[in-house]
Amino acid sequence: MVRLSMGCGGALYTPTLVLTAAHCVNGTGNNTSITITQGAVDLQDPNRTTRQSNYVLQAPGYNGTGKDWALIRMSQPITGVPLLQVATDLSLNSGTFTVAGWGAASEGGSQQRYLLKADVPFINDATCKASGGSYSGLVDAEEICAGFPNGGVDTCQGDSGGPMFRRDATNTWRQVGITSWGEGCARPGKPGVYTEVGHFAADICTAANTIGGCQTPPGGMSVSNPGNQTSTVGTAITPVTHTASGGTAPYTFSATGLPAGVQINASTGQITGTPTTAGTSNVTVTATDSSSPAKTASTSYSWTVNSAPIPGCSATNGTDFAINDNATVSSPITISGCAGNAGTGSTVEVHIVHTYIGDLLVELVAPDGTVYTLHNRAGGSADNINQTYTVNLSGEVANGTWNLRVNDNASADTGRIDTWTLNLGGGTPPTCAPGTNGTDVNIPDNATVNSTIAIASCSGNASTASKVEVHIVHTYIGDLVVTLVAPDGSTYVLHNRAGGSADNINQTYTVNLSSEARNGTWTLRVQDAATADTGRIDSWTLTL
pTM, full prediction: 0.47
For residue 246, being part of any structural domain is answered with yes
Of 369, 391, 423, the domain-final residue: 423
The DSSP call for residue 62 is -
- DSSP class of 7: T
Q: How many helices (H) and strands (E) does the chain have?
A: 2, 40
CATH number at residue 8: 2.40.10.10
Q: Tell me, what amino acid is at 42?
A: D
Write out pLDDT tens, residues 173-199.
999 999 999 999 999 999 999 999 999
Residue 429 lies in a domain: no
Each as own residue / partner, the long-range contacts of residues 46-53 (CB below 8 Å, 24 or more positions apart, any chain) are 49/78, 51/75, 51/76, 51/78
**Is the same domain home to 246 and 342?**
no
Residue 234 and residue 365 in one domain: no
Closest C-alpha among 396, 532, 543, 405 to residue 467: 543
- My answer on whether 401 and 460 are in the same domain is no
pLDDT, residue 258, reads 95
Contact 103, 159 (CB under 8 A): yes
In a domain, 222, yes or no: no
Same domain flag for 172 and 50: yes
Q: What is the DSSP string of 231-262?
A: EETTSPPPPB---EESS-SS-EEEEESPPTTE
Q: Give yes or no: residues 26 and 43 share one domain.
A: yes
Sign of the CA dihedral with 366 first, then 403, 227, and 252 last? positive
Looking at the chain, how many residues does it have?
544
DSSP three-state, residue 360: strand
Low-confidence stretches of the chain (pLDDT beneath 70): 217-220, 227, 309-311, 380-381, 426-433, 457
Count of CB atoms within 10 A of residue 4's CB?
A: 23
C-alpha–C-alpha distance, residues 414 and 370, integer Å: 26
From 105, 194, 100, select the one nearest 157 (Cα to Cα): 105
Number of domains in the chain: 4
User: Is 160 a catalytic site residue?
Assistant: yes
H or E stretch including 298?
A: strand 296-306
CA-CA distance, 379 to 385, in Å (whole number)?
9
Within a domain: 280: yes
Q: How far from 282 is each of 59, 177, 202, 299, 415, CA to CA, in Å?
A: 20, 19, 10, 10, 35
In a domain, 430, yes or no: no
Residue of 23, 199, 375, 474 marked active site: 23
What pLDDT is recorded for position 220?
66
Contact 158/106 with Cβ under 8 angstroms?
no
Residue 221 lies in a domain: no
One domain for residues 127 and 251: no
Distance (Å, whole) CA 264 – CA 273: 9
Are residues 332 and 233 both part of a single domain?
Answer: no
Catalytic residue among 53, 131, 160, 300: 160
Q: Are residues 105 and 19 in the same domain?
A: yes
Whole domain around residue 354: which residue ranges?
314-423
Across-strand partners of 240? Answer: 271
232 and 378 fall within a common domain: no
Q: Determine if the peptide bond prior to 250 is cis (ω within 30°).
A: yes
Are 520 and 489 within 8 A, CB to CB?
A: no
Distance (Å, whole) CA 249 – CA 207:
27
Q: Are 179 and 102 in contact (CB under 8 A)?
A: no
Q: Are strands 70-74 and 17-20 parallel, antiparallel or unpaired?
A: antiparallel
Which residue type, as a one-letter code, is found at position 340? G
Cβ burial of 329 (10 Å; 0-12, 13-18, 19+) is middle
The CATH number of the domain holding residue 351 is: 2.60.120.260
161 lies in some domain: yes
Dihedral pair phi/psi, residue 199, rounded to 5°:
-70, -35
Q: Could you tell me if 361 and 457 lie in one domain? A: no
Q: Round to whole Å and give the CA distance between 103 and 117.
A: 10
DSSP track, 147-191: --TT------TT-TT-EEEEE-TTS-EEEEEEEEE-SSSS-TT--
CB crowding 263-294: b at 16 or more within 10 Å, else e: ebeeeebebebebeebeebbbbbbbbbeeeee
**245: CATH:** 2.60.40.10
Do 99 and 193 have their domain in common?
yes
Query: Is 198 found in the same domain as 250?
Result: no
Quote the pLDDT of residue 432.
Answer: 67
Where helices occur in 331-407 by DSSP H, the ranges are: none
The pLDDT of residue 219? 61
Q: According to the model, what pLDDT value does residue 346 have?
A: 87
**Bond prior to 293 in cis (omega within 30° of 0):** yes
Q: Give the chain's largest Cα–Cα span.
A: 106
Are residues 528 and 443 in contact, defined by beta-carbon separation less than 8 angstroms?
yes
Cα gap 294→393, rounded to integer Å:
48
Collapse the DSSP code of 345 into the 3-class scheme (helix H, G, I; strand E, B; otherwise coil) and give the result.
coil
Catalytic: 23? yes
| pLDDT recorded at residue 462 | 85
Q: In this structure, are residues 153 and 164 in contact, taking their beta carbons and an 8 Å threshold?
A: no
Catalytic residue among 68, 203, 289, 538: 68
Specify if 203 maps to a domain. yes
